[in-house]
Structures are given as C-alpha cells and as structure tokens.
Amino acid sequence: MLSVSQLTLNGEPALTGVERLPLIGWKIESTRRNVLQQSWQLQCSTRADFSALVFDSGVVNSEESNNIELSEFLLQPSTRYFLRVRITDNHGESSGWSPEAPFVTGVMNCAWKGEFISAETPQDKANSKGTLLRKAFSVAAEKKVASAFVHATALGIYQLFLNGERVGTDELTPGWTSYQHHLLYQTYDVTALLNSGDNVVGAELGAGWFKGDMGFSRHRNYYGEQTALLCQLVIQYEDGSEQCVVSDLSWRSSDSARQFAEIYDGERYDATLAQPGWQRSGFNDSDWRHVSQIHWDKKTLVAQGAGTVKQIERLPVAALIVTPQGDKVLDFGQNMSGWVEFRVRGKPGDKVVLRHFEALDASGNVYLDNLRSAKQLVEYTLKGEGEEVWHPRFSWQGFRYVKVERFPGELNPNHFTAIVIHSAMEATGQFACSNPDLNQLHHNILWGLKGNFVDVPTDCPQRDERLGWTGDAQIFCRTASYLMQTRTFFAKWLTDLKHDQTPEGGVPHVIPDILTGHCDHDKFLAEGGTHSATGWADAAVINPWTMYLMYGDKRILQNQYVSMKGWVDFMRAHADNDIWRYKLQFGDWVALDAQEGSYFGATPEDLLCTAYYALSTSLLAKTAKVLGNEEDHQYYSALQTIIVERFQERFFTAKGDLTAQTQTAHIVALCFDLTPVAFRQRTADRLVALLHEHDGHLVTGFLGTPYFCHALSQNGKAKEAWALLLKDDFPSWLYQVKAGATTVWEHWDGIKPDGSMWSPDMNSFNHYAYGAVGEWLYRTVAGIEADESAPGFKHAIISPLPGGRLNWVDASYESMYGEIAVKWQAIEGKVVLSFRIPANTTATVKLQAVKEMGQSEGLEFSHSELGWSATAGSGEYRIDYLPDDSVDLTYSD
C-alpha cells in the first residue's frame, strides 16, 4: 500500500498568510521496503473538493518529494487555496490523493488600505498601559458572505476580537523582529465570527518589545513611542463583491483595565475598570477617544504564515509549600515560560498578587536575586462578581515557583494552572534510554528549548534579558532542530540577523539588536562594542547551514547568502595575516577554567576566533557550491585552506602540542578539522589527559562544551565520551540533574555542591546553551545523522554508539520524509539494533566496535578498516552483532 500521509508547506502543515508560493514537501508511507518515488502530480484549488483548479502540474517524473518549488502561478490576495499530491513509486504502485494542505494568502503587493492607528499620544511614551480600539461596521444582510480574512499587526503587542470572540489563538503577536525593517503581520480566517448586520472589530494593545522597557540596562522606546494597530478585514461576498474594514481615523479608543504590562515586570489588571461588552455591538463608545494616525513604512510588512507563539500545554500545581520564612509558594515542578491562570472569588477591590521565580535558596526560601531588575509580578484586582478566571496576556514569566503574596480567601492549589507558552513548532525528537538520569537530562534540554523559544531564541526567560543572544542560538541550533521543527522559527530570526548586521557585515551580539547605542553603562559593551564576537556572530553562517542540513531548504541559504558572506568578509577584513580577533570577545564564556569570579574562560581569544573563522569560511564555501556559485566556492575554499594552515602554524608547536593547554582548545582543533592529520591522535590523547587533570570533569564554557563528546567519540575515545556524559558529580550535566534541575543551568556551578549559588548577577536556571549536548544523544548515541550530500535526511547515516553501561536506547527523529527511528538493546551479550528508514529515503548503516556480525536480514554488510557498513532502502530492519570488548553495556537475558 502506497500513500502520502502529509503534505507540508515550508515544512508546516498549513500556512495562513502567504505572499510567495511556499516550498512543498510530503511524507510517503508504504508497507514495502526500498520504496523510491518515481513521479508526482500536484494540484492547487480554491475549493477543498478541488472543483476549482488553479494549477495542475501534470505528472512529473522525479524522485524529489521535498523542497519543491512550483513554477509561480498567480495568487490572489486574501484567498484560501488547497494543495494535494499523488505519486507513483519504483514498485509500480500509485497512491491516492494526499490529504490536502491549505494555505491562505495575505495582503499581496503591499495593498494596505488602512493606517496604523493609536489610542496613545506622545505623552504616553513612558506608559505601559493597555489600550482598546474598536470599530462598528455592518455586513450587508441581503448578501451571503463567501469568506472573511483579517490581516493585522501592531506596533506593540495586540490581541484582536470580532464580535466579542478572540480572533485566532496566537499570543504576543506580532512577536519581536527588527521592526524598522521587518514587521510581521498575521492573517486569520474570521468567516465564522461575522454576523449578518451589526459587527464590531476590536483590539487591545500593549507596549511589548516595541516601546517597553527592555535590555539589562533598562531602556525603553527602542522602536517608537506609541502603540498602534494596523488591520484590514476583507469580506468577500458570494456575488463577487468585496468589503474592506480597515484601521483608520473613524475608530474609537479607550484605556483598558490593564494598567500596566511589561515583558520583564509583569502585569497589573484592575477588573473593576473592565468595560464589559466593548468588543460587541450595542456598546456605547460615545465617551471613547479619537485615535491618531502613526506613520510607519508599510514596506516593512511581511506575512507570517506560521510559527507564532501559542499556549502549548497546561501544568497543575505539584506542591503548595510554606517556606521557613512563612511564604506561601506554589511549585509547578517544572521551570518554564508562561503564565499562571487562577480562579478566584472575592469582594470588589480584593487583590491577587503573584511573584514568579525559578529557585528556592539553600534554606528553602524564595530566591529572587537572580531575576535582577525583572519584577515578574502579576497583580489582579477583583471585580467581585462570582468566580473570576484570569491570566496575563501581554507579558510572560520565566518560573517554576510562584510566591502568593496576596489572595482572597483560602488558597486552593487546584485553582491555579500554569500555561506554558512558546513558539509553535512540531515536536520531532524522542529519546529514551535505560538510564533515568539521562532521560531527565533530555527532558531538561527539551524544556530549555520550550522556555526559550518564545518568538526569538532567548538566552533565558526570567531575568532582565530574554534577548536573542546569537552565541546561545548558534550552539543550541542543531540540538533544537532534532527536538523540534525549527525551520520557520530560525528563518524568521535569521531574517532579522541579516537586517541588523552592520554595513560592514558585523553581526550584533543580540538579534533583534537593542544593544547598539544603549550600552553606555555596561563596562564591557561600552568599551568593546555590541557586535562581532566569535562563536556568537557565526550564527550568521552556522544556523542557515544547519537549516540546510536538517531540512534541505536552499531558500534559507539563498535568503541568507549575502549575510553569510558579509560575516566571513568582515572577519577577513579584520584578520591579521589570517589570524582573526576583534574588540570584545566572550570566548569560552563561563568556562570553569576562568579566573575566580570571571566569566571569560582560559582559552585564548585569537585561537577561538581563528578556529571559528575557519569553520564559518568552510561552511560558506559549501553554501556557495550548493547555490551553484562556483567562483565563491573556489575563493572561500582556498581561504579556508589558508586559515587552517595559519592556525596550525600559530597554535601547534612543531612537536604537535597545542599552545593553549585547555580542553576547549583541543576540542575545537579536533572538531573544526584544524589538527594536522599527524597530530590527531596526540591531540585526542592530550584532551583525555586534560580531562583526567580534573578527575574526568569538563571545565569548558559555551564554545567548548557543545563539541566535547563529539571531539572524543570521533577520535577513538568513545568510552571517555560516555564517561564524561555520565559523570554526575560537580561539574557535569548530571550533577544538575541530581540537584533536581528541570531545565539546563547557565553555570555549571549555578548551585554549588555546598548549596550556595553563583553570583546573582548572572545565574539563570533556564539557559539552553549547555543543553547543546543534546545533539550528541541524537547524532551519536542513537546515531541518526544527516548527510550533507543529501540534506534533509534524503539520505541518512545510521551509526549508533552503544555504551555507557546502558541496556537500551530508543530514539527517533521525525524528518521531512517521515520518522527515522533507532533502537539498540544489549541482550545476551549481543547488540540488537532495530531501525526504520522512511519511504523515498536511503541510509548508510555504519557499525563500529563489532567483534562479529550476526543476523542482518535484508542488508549486505561489508567490512573495512572503518568498521562494517551497509546501504539500506526504506523500511524496518532488525540486526544483531557481537560487540568487541571496548563496548560497555549492561546485558539483559
């Protein structure tokens, strides 16, 4: 049986708000092995039953089933389209039509008829209050509505309502982008919300990133001084006529009951000031204010088809704690980003006051110091009528615990629920094994992603930062992309990176860049500048390349090419004889080999800078090749060769020792292919010796840690890699797990073995950076690896690494083609390996440390000095082999 189980658009199941035809892909299911597609046929229609075709590809003979670019056909604005596909395969089977994938077009060709309108005045510059805007309109009663779509965005954060109903389920829209260049708008189907006759469209606005108080130096009004709404509601009638309701000066406005809302500080909402019915018709708005028009370049507007922040899941209270100091604290048992929803009864004017925080101190008391200036405070004043249910909407909190500072009546934990919010992404990674600590580490890595992929990849979600630090996003990108489908998320953020680059190609430390020009009070940034730190700025090259590896998406490479090249050229321009270094460097940030109290690890800056210069240049050279730019490919390949030579001359002694005897220096030299072949073994041995100097512990920071296990396992030190991963005393990944962490910490010594904490200056308990070891679990332990010559897992490499005294590992990755699953088990002295390869893909299975091959039905293994290997077509396989003595496993009967 052959079928197409899912059609995707830019990797998403549906897109709402499209201005350019998306890249199309599909997943194929078959009960057979070795299935390859032979042809496809795609159709596009404006009706779900495909009775109104606007495109038919005809039968196209091709094996391609992802990243298909259709020859452009004319799209109409504000219109829903449906796509479907059917295929044939190499066994002569034909599928039926796939389930259809819908998409809705946006405001094409920037045909905006409305204006940005504001309920605020320039005097509100320092205000963080909520405002309301509304407009009554009527829908011709005698005509039938065929469809109604609304396109909207805001300067600030907005929520839209139609006839009292919330429009869509997105949160914190329009998110955070480099607004002055790139402002996203959202599109919603509101056909079902329209009334025949009287209607009201309304919106609430808040300050958000646009004009709120942001950054650790606490500035506001980065992008403007007044919030504003842009809205275009397009109603199409069945008779072919169209009606447009747009934001203009006829709208009315008022202040909302939300007296204050700020991303770091929380919200203050007075329900006694709420104006019931304001989003419905019949409400008297005669005392509401006029609105004013705000000028904003509409060329910055771009449709956001998917990837908005949403309410993802709900968690109950795990425990109600009374601290030694007598505070009442709700423990949700999980560090997260989101809101607390509560149910409450009381008198008018009674208050609920909640303070959100991450950790209890060594005595079990509320610990707020690491939040720095972020208040994370929510205050709700009761209306006093029956049960009231409320949660914030224009801010979010990073927390596990909530101190209940005020609450009328008895405190019942069942009346509180945590709502987890983050950017909506498909979960793609599963990992489980026989070691519960490792499972908890995987959980913590995943929750580090959930807590920090809130519209932009943030460093942490709780203190007065929550910024798109490029280094953090760079080192975690590959791990994140195993866990969830990050294609839309990073495509958006990389667009902002491109916009915010300096004219010379320098890359700001945070994207969107709000540090430049606002760091006078920060010693390091004021002196050292706000852009172009190695390992941070390289996100410009590494992240697009990672998207290509994981999703095979060339469009991201095309969109980012100038930006990628700009960054490499920046390094070249500032290199001295190809040894690169520039102003402020974070280096091997927060490594434990830093001097006491310092954040800067011991690995020399010029070594790290030149190492990353070589890496980014090699990825740029490969990108040029992929995009067919042979001239650039030759140029940057040659440049990379020179950088590597210079690195070797400068940082290796004639004997083959690295001049810097740090773990991180050895890791990057091995992983970035900077080590002369003759010195590889010596470098790997030395890395192991450096580990032993610390009793088997790492002392690496941001730049060394992500590659540590790879540096070992790729150089004949698999046992040492496993041992490092499984260390559970300080400092180690599992030390945090043993200490009860539910996310990954910023510092190895966030909480020290004696219970004391690292300086509150910078001590986040939800920082995903060190969670970058997650990719080693997927790529190496489970052995689900991409092949850059057939990206997006069109061809996978299956090469698991049994060990670590485990009994079993069961992992999977939902690729663009379907699920790749790998399970290994240690049974009766053998490794039993089962795996699944999706239809229309192939894999090379590579096995190492094999003493004797056993059963391998359906596969033909051959042996070389690199181990055993076989080529597998799609399907499920089960093989077994006798491992050699280097493989440390716990066997079951």
For the CB of residue 456, give the shortest distance to ligand BGC in the complex, in Å: 13
- The side-by-side arrangement of strands in the sheet containing 165-166 is 165-166, 157-162, 197-206, 131-139, 252-255, 289-290
Closer to ligand BGC by Cβ: residue 424 or 460: 460
Q: Where are the beta strands (DSSP E) in 285-327?
A: 289-290, 292-294, 301-303, 309-316, 319-322
Distance CA 889, CA 879 (A): 17
Q: Which of 723, 655, 660 is nearest to 688 (CA)?
A: 723
Under DSSP, is residue 685 helix (H, G, I), strand (E, B) or coil? helix
Closer to ligand BGC by Cβ: residue 40 or 216: 216
Q: How far is CA 22 from CA 126, 188, 426, 601, in A?
A: 41, 18, 18, 44
In this structure, the dihedral spanned by the alpha carbons of residues 726, 729, 735 and 738, taken in order and rounded to 10 degrees, is 100
* Site residue total, ligand BGC (CB under 6 A): 11
Distance CA 480, CA 476 (A): 6
Considering the candidates 115, 225, 746, 814, report the single residue annotated as catalytic: 746
For the CB of residue 533, give the shortest distance to ligand BGC in the complex, in Å: 7
For residue 250, the cross-strand partners are none
For the CB of residue 767, give the shortest distance to ligand BGC in the complex, in Å: 6
For the CB of residue 523, give the shortest distance to ligand BGC in the complex, in Å: 13
For the CB of residue 589, give the shortest distance to ligand BGC in the complex, in Å: 5
**Amino acid identity, position 852:** E
What character string, x for contact with ligand BGC (CB under 6 A) and - otherwise, covers 345-384?
Answer: ----------------------------------------
Closer to ligand BGC by Cβ: residue 216 or 283: 216
What character string, x for contact with ligand BGC (CB under 6 A) and - otherwise, covers 570-599?
Answer: ----------------x--x----------
Q: Which stretch binds ligand BGC (CB under 6 A): 84-92, 278-286, 465-473, 488-496?
A: 465-473
H or E segment to which residue 618 belongs: helix 605-626
Distance of CA 346 to the CA centre of its chain: 41
Considering the candidates 465, 605, 775, 785, report the single residue annotated as catalytic: 465
Footprint of ligand BGC on 734-763 (CB under 6 A):
762
For the CB of residue 458, give the shortest distance to ligand BGC in the complex, in Å: 9
Work out whether 465 is an interface residue with ligand BGC (CB under 6 A).
Answer: yes
Work out whether 459 is an interface residue with ligand BGC (CB under 6 A).
Answer: yes
For the CB of residue 460, give the shortest distance to ligand BGC in the complex, in Å: 6
Distance CA 154, CA 185 (A): 8
Q: Which stretch binds ligand BGC (CB under 6 A): 69-77, 463-471, 547-555, 729-737?
A: 463-471
For residue 751, the cross-strand partners are 757
The CA-to-CA distance between both ends of the chain, in Å, stands at 37
Closer to ligand BGC by Cβ: residue 114 or 448: 448
Closer to ligand BGC by Cβ: residue 525 or 832: 525
* Whether the Cβ atoms of residue 350 and residue 382 lie closer than 8 Å to each other: yes
Closer to ligand BGC by Cβ: residue 394 or 582: 582
In this structure, the dihedral spanned by the alpha carbons of residues 642, 644, 647 and 653, taken in order and rounded to 10 degrees, is -110
* Whether the Cβ atoms of residue 816 and residue 23 lie closer than 8 Å to each other: no
Region class of 763: left (phi > 0), else alpha (psi between -120 and 50), else beta: beta
Closer to ligand BGC by Cβ: residue 515 or 845: 515
Distance CA 737, CA 443 (A): 10
Q: Which stretch binds ligand BGC (CB under 6 A): 150-158, 195-203, 349-357, 468-476?
A: 468-476
Interface pick for ligand BGC out of 472, 513, 593, 605 (rule CB under 6 A) = 472
H or E segment to which residue 847 belongs: strand 842-847
Work out whether 255 is an interface residue with ligand BGC (CB under 6 A).
Answer: no
Region class of 109: left (phi > 0), else alpha (psi between -120 and 50), else beta: left
For residue 882, the cross-strand partners are 852
Under DSSP, is residue 475 helix (H, G, I), strand (E, B) or coil? helix
Distance CA 364, CA 485 (A): 38
For the CB of residue 469, give the shortest distance to ligand BGC in the complex, in Å: 4
Interface pick for ligand BGC out of 130, 471, 535, 552 (rule CB under 6 A) = 471
Footprint of ligand BGC on 799-818 (CB under 6 A):
none
Q: Which stretch binds ligand BGC (CB under 6 A): 186-194, 459-467, 604-612, 842-850?
A: 459-467
Distance CA 776, CA 717 (A): 14
Distance CA 889, CA 217 (A): 51
Give the pair of three-digit tokens for residue 674. 């900077």
Work out whether 460 is an interface residue with ligand BGC (CB under 6 A).
Answer: yes
Closer to ligand BGC by Cβ: residue 749 or 810: 749
Q: Quick check: is 788 catalytic? A: no
For the CB of residue 358, give the shortest distance to ligand BGC in the complex, in Å: 14
Closer to ligand BGC by Cβ: residue 82 or 469: 469
Q: How far is CA 393 from CA 263, 267, 373, 397, 753, in A?
A: 10, 8, 21, 10, 38
Q: Which stretch binds ligand BGC (CB under 6 A): 34-42, 309-317, 467-475, 659-667?
A: 467-475
**Amino acid identity, position 316:** P
The backbone torsions φ and ψ at residue 799, rounded to the nearest 5 degrees and listed phi first, read -145, 75
Region class of 92: left (phi > 0), else alpha (psi between -120 and 50), else beta: left
What character string, x for contact with ligand BGC (CB under 6 A) and - otherwise, covers 767-806?
Answer: x-x-------------------------------------
Distance CA 767, CA 747 (A): 9
Q: Which stretch binds ligand BGC (CB under 6 A): 316-324, 457-465, 799-807, 827-835?
A: 457-465
Q: Which stretch binds ligand BGC (CB under 6 A): 147-155, 350-358, 466-474, 634-642?
A: 466-474
Closer to ligand BGC by Cβ: residue 174 or 461: 461
Q: Which of 139, 128, 146 is nearest to 162 (CA)?
A: 139
Footprint of ligand BGC on 88-147 (CB under 6 A):
none
For the CB of residue 307, give the shortest distance to ligand BGC in the complex, in Å: 23
What character string, x for contact with ligand BGC (CB under 6 A) and - otherwise, covers 272-311?
Answer: ----------------------------------------
Residue 408: asked if its preceding bond is cis (omega within 30°), the reply is: no
For the CB of residue 524, give the shortest distance to ligand BGC in the complex, in Å: 8
Work out whether 188 is an interface residue with ligand BGC (CB under 6 A).
Answer: no
- Other CB atoms within a 10 A radius of the CB of residue 322 amount to 10
DSSP per-residue string spanning 135-160: EEEEE-TTS-EEEEEEEEEEESEEEE
Closer to ligand BGC by Cβ: residue 118 or 766: 766
Q: Quick check: is 630 catalytic? A: no
For the CB of residue 830, give the shortest distance to ligand BGC in the complex, in Å: 44
For the CB of residue 209, give the shortest distance to ligand BGC in the complex, in Å: 17
Interface pick for ligand BGC out of 469, 612, 817, 868 (rule CB under 6 A) = 469
Q: Which stretch binds ligand BGC (CB under 6 A): 447-455, 458-466, 484-492, 728-736?
A: 458-466
Closer to ligand BGC by Cβ: residue 161 or 469: 469
Residue whose tokens read 């998917």: 306
Strands 228-237 and 101-105, by their bridges, are: unpaired
Q: Which stretch binds ligand BGC (CB under 6 A): 464-472, 484-492, 571-579, 840-848?
A: 464-472
Distance CA 605, CA 609 (A): 6
* Total residue length of the chain: 893
Closer to ligand BGC by Cβ: residue 119 or 510: 510
List contacts with ligand BGC (CB under 6 A): 459-460, 465, 469, 471-472, 586, 589, 762, 767, 769
Instruction: Give me the active site residues, please.
Output: 465, 746
